[in-house]
C-alpha cells in the first residue's frame, strides 16, 4: 500500500482520510498546534483508526513544504471566515450579543448602586 492510498484528494484544498469525512488539516492541527499524540487524536475522531492518524502524520512529514502551505491556507481561510462573520453576524448572534451587553451593563449599575448606596 502506498501512503497516498490512505487519502482522498478531492481538490487541491480538500484532502480527506479515505472512507471518512475527516480532512487531514483537522488531524494535523491537533498534532502540530495542540501537540496531541496520535493516541490522543484518535480519541477525538471516532471514525479514524490509529493507523490512519499515523499515516496522516507520515504524509505530512514526507510532504512538509506542500502540506505546511495547505495548512497555512486552511488557517487563513478560517481567519477570513471568522472576520466575515464578525462583520456580518447572524441575526440571532447579534441579539445574543445585545443581551450580553445589557446584562453586563445591569451588573455594573447594580455594583455602582451598592458602592454608592
Q: Which of 68, 55, 45, 40 is nearest to 3 (CA)?
A: 55
115 within a domain of the structure (yes/no): no
The answer to the question of residue 105 being in a domain is no
117 — pLDDT class (breaks 50, 70, 90):
low
The grid cell for 114 is 451598592
Q: What CA–CA distances, in Å, run from 51 to 1, 21, 38, 45? A: 13, 16, 9, 13
Query: Which helix or strand (DSSP H or E) is residue 72 part of?
Result: helix 64-87
Number of domains into which the chain is organized: 1
Helix (H) or strand (E) holding 11: strand 7-11
Q: Please say if the pLDDT value at position 51 is more than 90.
A: yes
Please choose, from the candidates 6, 20, 14, 17, the residue with its C-alpha nearest in 3D space to the C-alpha of residue 74.
14
At which residue does the C-alpha cell 451598592 appear? 114
Residue 58 confidence (pLDDT): 97
The CATH number of the domain where 33 resides is what? 1.10.10.10
On the question of pLDDT at 91 being above 80, the answer is yes
Q: Which domain holds residue 26?
A: 3-90
Tens digit of pLDDT for each residue in 59-86? 999 999 999 999 999 989 888 888 888 8
- Compute the average pLDDT of residues 112-116: 76
Amino acid at each position: 500500500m502506498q501512503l497516498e492510498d490512505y487519502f482522498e484528494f478531492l481538490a487541491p484544498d480538500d484532502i480527506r482520510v479515505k472512507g471518512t469525512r475527516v480532512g487531514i488539516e483537522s488531524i494535523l492541527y491537533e498534532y502540530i498546534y495542540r501537540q496531541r499524540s496520535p493516541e490522543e487524536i484518535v480519541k477525538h475522531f471516532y471514525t479514524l483508526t490509529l493507523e490512519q492518524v499515523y499515516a496522516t502524520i507520515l504524509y505530512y512529514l514526507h510532504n512538509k513544504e506542500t502540506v505546511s502551505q495547505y495548512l497555512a491556507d486552511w488557517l487563513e481561510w478560517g481567519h477570513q471566515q471568522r472576520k466575515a462573520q464578525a462583520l456580518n453576524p447572524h441575526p440571532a448572534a447579534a441579539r445574543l450579543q445585545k443581551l450580553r451587553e445589557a446584562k453586563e451593563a445591569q451588573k455594573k449599575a447594580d455594583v455602582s448602586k451598592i458602592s454608592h448606596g
